[in-house]
Amino acid sequence: MTFRPLLAAYDRALGTNSGTSLFTEGEWGRMLSARLPVSSLAAGSVAALAAAVDRFSMAAGMSTGPWHLSPERITASFSGDRMMRIAGAPVVGFAELSGFFPCADGWIRTHANYPHHRSALTAALDLDPDVSPSSFADRVAASTGSDIENRCCSHSAIAVYVRSEAQWKSEAGMVTDADPLIHTVHRSDHVAFDLRAAPTCAVPRKEGPLRGVRVLDFTRVIAGPVATRVLALLGATVLRVDSPRLPEIEWQHLENGQGKRTTLLDLDSGEGVDALHELLPLADVVVTGYRPGALNALRTALEDAVSPGIIHASVSAWGPGPWYQRRGFDSIVQAATGIASIEGTAERPGALPAQVLDHSTGYLLAAAIVDGLAAREPGSAGLDVSVSLARTAAWLLAADGRSPNPVSAELPPVTTTSLHGTIRAARPALAEYQDYAAPSRPWGRDEPSLL
């Protein structure tokens, strides 16, 4: 296994140079074992972040040193849902209507973990909201994959036909193959002279090199929250902002909200928009993870450039192209792009050993943010950086190192987790950090403030 091809792809996209002596590797063995080179993707994305932190540290006059890429720690963090225990019990990763279902001409994969997604899915298929899994499966079995996919798309529900790699590349996938791993745009607005991103003194790596950086987090589920959780680990002040009308899954917040503050803002109300306009001038970074058009108030505020030189980082499922407005998650992208077919058998589709697209994309986004902060200086332009799960999947599918008969993947030992009260969660993927600064706070309970 080598992480360097992914690191090289990151460097090409950002115009950086990670060097050759920053990292040491451990033995991966059964960690994240799969037919596709998953360990290379996981380690490479964490290495990209580590290299970006070193560039930021050197720009700020801080000390740097080699990083150890620990397979056990990376695997535990990427498998956070499987490592987590609440009062000793494992969490349920997928709801009863989320998963693979056979259809008339193959398989589909659905996602209905949130109540509003389940409602949209059952409505799209003209089913009762309380339909049983068996009745749902019967309805799916009587329809073609394209019919189900089209119905769900028109109802904002989430289901895709399980494609082969060749099928995906002949359709929407060609767009993501052509895109850079990370897309960057330098805007016309410019950084003010009172840079909070530059510490007033050299802060050692373990004490938080991003201390003083302020981040507004408008992301949900895994990829975006992973990116902002890393920024918090590195010392940034992170405020996650959610809508009071969208429920959150408890275990996802407990796992990915560590080190952050969390508040609720209704951006469809005047009061919420006013609060947003008070927050944005204080932020160095805004991270968004909603589909285009889903947060019009935030988009309008960003276009008004109320905070010159701000870094706007975004993550989506599909990136630019014909599917850019569709909802999607790691499992759905795996199914559409051919990964599920590759990792499955002749009888049934399969899946990667963890939500690797989510986590790797999150680390790549965090790395791009850190590199953007390292490049900030008085008068420099504002920066937009964006990533997508589909583009990360395209890299994985194009990478060398497939294994036709991989060994069974194994989880690392419990020593890769930490216990806070009744919550056991994976330690950070960066082995230089023993734990996050604080466990997750109660969801939505903090004041909307970055001070």
For the CA atoms of 391, 395, 396, 397, the dihedral, rounded to the nearest 10 degrees, stands at: 90
| Pairing, β 237-242 against β 261-264 | parallel
User: What are the structure tokens assigned to 264, written together?
Assistant: 């609720």
Per-residue pLDDT of the chain (451 residues; tens, 9 = 90+): 578 899 999 999 999 998 756 788 788 889 999 999 999 999 999 999 999 999 999 888 887 778 999 999 999 999 999 999 999 999 988 989 999 999 999 999 999 999 999 999 999 999 999 999 999 999 999 999 999 999 999 999 999 999 999 999 888 666 666 788 999 988 877 765 444 444 434 445 566 899 999 999 999 999 999 999 999 999 999 999 998 988 888 999 999 999 999 999 988 888 888 888 889 888 999 999 876 555 565 666 666 544 678 899 999 999 887 888 888 999 999 999 999 999 999 999 999 999 999 999 999 999 999 999 998 877 777 889 999 999 999 999 999 999 999 999 999 999 999 999 999 999 999 999 999 999 999 999 999 998 7
Q: Distance between CA 233 and CA 366 in Å, rounded?
A: 11
d(CA 273, CA 267): 5
- Spatial neighbors of 307 by CB under 8 A, at least 6 apart, are 280, 281, 282, 283
Q: Which of 449, 181, 160 is nearest to 315 (CA)?
A: 181
DSSP β-bridge partners for residue 64: none
User: CA–CA separation, 370 vs 368, rounded Å?
Assistant: 5
Contact status, residue 284 vs residue 257, Cβ threshold 8 Å: no
Say what the pLDDT of residue 203 is: 47
DSSP states along 366-410: HHHHHHHHHT--TTPEEEEEEEEHHHHHHHHHH-S---SSPPPP-
CB of 44 closer than 8 Å to CB of 3: yes
Determine the number of helices (DSSP H) and then strands (DSSP E) in the chain: 17, 16
Distance CA 70, CA 413 (A): 13
Long-range interactions of 434-438: CB distance < 8 A, separation 24+: 436/229, 436/232, 436/233, 436/258, 436/259, 437/208, 437/232, 437/233, 437/258, 437/259, 438/258, 438/259
CB count in 10 Å sphere of residue 394: 23
Assign residue 274 a region: left if phi > 0, alpha if psi is -120 to 50, beta otherwise?
Answer: alpha
Query: Cα(247)–Cα(335) distance, rounded to whole angstroms?
Result: 25
43 CB-near residues (< 8 Å, 6+ apart): 1, 3, 6, 25, 28, 69, 71, 74
End-to-end alpha carbon distance in the chain:
44
The answer to whether 395 touches 44, Cβ cutoff 8 Å, is no
- 325: nearest Cα among 336, 338, 316: 316
In a 3-state reduction of DSSP, which class is residue 264?
Answer: strand
Contact between 451 and 282 (Cβ < 8 Å): yes
Q: How far apart are CA 327 and CA 206, in angstroms?
A: 37
Could you say which DSSP state residue 239 is in?
A: E
User: How many other C-beta atoms lie within 10 A of the C-beta of residue 12?
Assistant: 12
pLDDT for 200 equals 38
